[in-house]
Every structure is written in structure tokens, then in C-alpha cells.
Structure 1
Amino acid sequence: MRYRYLGGSGVKVSTLCLGTLMFGAWGRTTHEDALAIIDRALDAGINYIDTADSYAGGESEEIVGKALAKSGKRDRLIVATKVFWNMSVDPNFRGLSRRWIIYEVEQSLRRLGTDYIDLYQVHRPDTNTDIEETLDALSDLVKAGKIRYFGTSNFPAHRIVEAQWAASTGGRRRFVSEQPQYSMLAREVEADVLPVCQKHNIGVTTWSPLAGGWLTGRYRANTGQAATPRVGRWPKRYDPAEPANQHKLAVVEQLAALADEAGMTLIELALAFCLNHKAVTSVAIGPRTMAQLENQLKAPYVVLDKDVLDRIDEIVPPGSMLVSREDGSWIPPELTDAGLRRRGA
């Protein structure tokens, strides 16, 4: 396995981060199978595990906690989790207020069965909470030894800059990492988020490098729709009759042909593409089965030459966004609430 520094934290993480979204009820991966996947990932040299309080209602964190106890390697691992999404019908059991962060970090510690969290990430921006309020709470948790570092996820560039400014001018600790959606089909962050992270020495762990399965080779033209838990939850996103999906299928065919010409799998091409960007520290993979993990472990050693990268740019131009924002990326309220962009009644 290969390792890179996570921004300016001084901590080295594996270039593959084991994402655990699919562990438990959401991905229908049993605890036993998930533990086996984690064991194999650790054996392969992965030292970076990413989860969230909201994944399967906390079940993912509990599985990771079991793995930490079983492995005996807690001190050698970088464990990351997140906070933001609602964990109850209570209106205050969500967001990035001091009240919720201080409460929920204790719940994550309990589920993970650990005394500290290496990287505590805010899962989405909270437009109802001042960033200073969030940074103060997170800084206090570092001082208390509950967390070591904190980062963002799905933050647009201007909010990353705002947070850096609030930290530098207020004597607060700063975010050391960002976790954006990034793949050959979702290149929007190349325009601003990734350059901003480079400018401020912020580590980047990308999510959905396989574009929700589109870059695994499972969804191909004329092969129909494969039955998976992901398709079951979001059937329209994978319906080949949808015009947007027809376009994606055509693009995937070109990328698959390019991978064949380059002597690698489409999965390896997709992961290596993300790791090739200068701003990217690590790529979060989300295997649901052991076979899926094995198919991704070679990616850190894949080298893409200039000709291959140029061909990718021709097929999917830099900055393109072929995967809908609805596939999980944060949608600014200014785009969903007409009242925020229109004058008058």
C-alpha cells in the first residue's frame, strides 16, 4: 500500500480509504462479512477507515468498533467518522450546532468502542449554524482529547475558504481535510474545490470514485440493469431508459474501451484517475463484498500515462458533471429554495 500526508496534519494515510457505507442494513453486508472485509483491508496495508454516525443508523460505526476491538491495531489506524444528519425525530438531533456536536461525538465514541476519533468530519454544510460556532465546538473537542483532527465533507469552495478565514482570524483550529464527490463522471470539483484545497494544504479524500457503480463495469449498454441494493434504493438513477443514463452508458462504453486498450480494468482506471490528481490524498472505496475489495486493491500501483489521461479528458472534459447532484452531493439551498434567489413576494 502507498501512503500520503493528510494535508498539513503530519499524519500519513493509505491512498485507499476503506469506506463503510455498505456495511450493515444499507448495503445488506452482514457483520461477519464486513469484519472479514476489514481484516483483509488491514492486511493489505489500508490504515484509514471512514464511517459516519448516520450510516445505517449507527450500525456501520458499531461494525467498525467490533473490527477495532478484534484487530488489536487501534493505535495504528486512522478512524474517521462524521456528524450532521438527523439521528432522531428531535429537531435538535442534527446539524452542526455546539449542542449536537458535543452530544453526538460521545455517541460515536460509544458505538466505535474507542476513546478518541482520529478525524471527525462535518458531513454537510449547515446554513443555519455559524461556522465559528462549529469550529469552536470542534476545537474544544480536540483540546479535550475526544478527537485528534477535524475535516469537512461536501463543502463548496467558498465555504472552505470561509472556514479557513474564521479559523485563522479567531485563533481556532482549522479543518485539515475535505471529502468531496469525485470520479471520471463527476469532475465538477476540479474547477474550484480541489484547487482551493491545494492552496490551503487541505487533505482530500474523495468519495464515490466509481460513480455509484457506473464505473465498475456492471452497467453497460445492452446488458440491462443489474439488481443490487443500490438499484433497489434509487431505481431511476440506473434506469437505462432515462436519457441521462443513456448518455452515461455511452460514456462508460468509451472509458471501458480505453481501459481495455491500456491493459487494466475499468475499476482500476477509475481509481487511478482520482489518485492522479495533485490535490487528492486518498480515495474512499466502499466494497460490499470481498470480491469487490479485491478488485480495487491494485489501484494504488496503477500508473496512467499522459495519453490515457488525455483520452479521459476528451471523453469527459475537465469540470464535467455527468452524475446528478441528487446522487449524494450537497445541494445548496439557493438552488432548491426559490425564495432565496428571487426578489419580492
Structure 2
Amino acid sequence: MRYRPLGRTGIQVSPYALGAMMFGAVGNPDHDESIRIIHRALDAGINFVDTADMYSAGESEEIVGKALKGRRDDVVLATKARFPVNFDPSGATPVVPNRSGASRRWLIQALDDSLRRLGTDYVDLFQIHQPDPDTDIEETLAALTDLVRAGKIRAIGTSSMPASDLVHAHWVAERRGLIRLRTEQPPYSILNRGIEREVLP
């Protein structure tokens, strides 16, 4: 397996990542089978595992944490925060105030909760899971900068962030002396190629 630099983070990753969105109640509730899948991927040379706190209400992170016991140092571990952990797209589950978003308060709490579920004291990549229109990007970047300096995160990024928001975030980071976003995880497939017009150029 050949490894590639993850932007300018100094981190080397396999060209393939293992996404853990379907591990847990939403996809595969069999923890043992999910752990076997993760181990198979690691044995094949994949060293990049991506999850999020909202995947199966934190269950995905717990499964990933179990699978990485004894192998944590060999893995580039990514997770995300932004939505309530019990996020329900149907709106049937009420949203609890201050338990979501990209505010300093929530990001610090969300990361601590993720670290506990993952059974680790740091993540390699912490991503904002879509824009938060209710929080100024400077507050978000300042919180993430503090978490990087505290050693809880190695690099920061985003997921499904519009190009205009990314440009603004880079401008704010440069102007305020904050750590810059290093990655963007966009939706991209043969049917969804919108990032070719805005994000990739």
C-alpha cells in the first residue's frame, strides 16, 4: 500500500479510508462483525478510519474504539461533530439547546465525549460536520486551535462545507493567527460531482 500526505498536516494516509457510518444500529448492529471488518481493512494496509459522533448515536465511535485497542498508534483516526449525537433527520427527536453546533462550548464537550467513546486521548483529524450558521467561524476556529494546542487533535477539517465558507474560514484563520482547516470531506460520487465546479479548483 502506498501512502499519501493528508494535505499539509504531516500525516500519511492510505489512498482508501474506511468509513464507519454504517457501524451500529443504523447499519450493522453486530459489533463483532464490524470489528472484523475494521481489522480486515487494517490488515490490508488501510490506515485511515473515519467516523462521527452522530453515527448511530455514538455507537459507531464505540465500535471503532474497541477495534483499535492495541492498534491505535497505527491508525489515522478521524471523527466529526456538529449535530446532536441523537440526531434524527425526521425531526421526531427534539433537539436539546446547546448540545449541537460549532460553538466553543459544544465542540469541547463533543470532542471529550468522542475521545471517551473511542478510548483514546487524541484524534488525528477533527472535522466540523457541515456549516453552523449560528456560530461565528472565528469562535469555531479559536476553539479548534486551543484543542490542537492541548494535544487532543492533530489536524482540523470540515465535511460538506461550501467553497465560500472555506475561503472565509481561511481568511479568518490567517488574519487572527488561528490554525487553518486542512481537509474538506465533500459528498462526491459519479452522480454528485458538484465539488468539481467549486471546491476542487
TM-score range, shorter chain: over 0.9
CA offset at residue 12 of structure 1? 1.1
Amino acid at match of 2:2: R
Q: Find out whether 1:104 has 2:118 as its counterpart.
A: no
CA distance in 2, matches of 1:16, 1:84: 24
- The structure in which a higher percent of residues are helix is 1
From 177, 183, 197, give the equivalent of 1:177: 183
Match of 2:84 in 1: 86
How far is 1:52 from its partner? 0.2
Q: Is the 8 A contact 2:188 2:195 kept in 1?
A: yes
Structure 1 stretches of 4+ with a deviation exceeding 4 A read none
Specify the structure having the higher radius of gyration (Cα): 1
Q: Which residue of 1 aligns with 2:8?
A: 8
Q: How many residues align?
A: 193
Deviation at 1:29, TM superposition (A): 4.0
Q: Which residue of 1 aligns with 2:132?
A: 126
TM-score normalised by structure 1 residue count? 0.55
Please list the CA deviations of residues 135-176 of structure 1 after superposition, one character each: whole Å capped at 9, or x if unmatched.
000000011111111100000100110011011111000011
Percent identical residues: 58
**Distance in 2 between residues matched to 1:124 and 1:93, nearest whole Å:** 15
Query: Where in structure 2 are the equivalents of 1:1-345 lying within 5 Å?
Result: 1-69=1-69, 72-87=70-85, 89-195=95-201
Code of the residue aligned with 2:20 in structure 1: it is T
Unaligned runs of 5+ in 2: 87-94
- C-alpha separation in 1, matches of 2:3 and 2:200: 19
d(CA) in 2 for partners of 1:52, 1:25: 14
RMSD: 0.9
- One-letter code of the match for 2:75? L
- Give the Å deviation of 1:90: 1.6
Name the CA distance, whole Å, in 2 between partners of 1:73 and 1:35. Answer: 12
Post-superposition shift, 1:28?
2.5
CA distance in 1, matches of 2:28, 2:13: 28
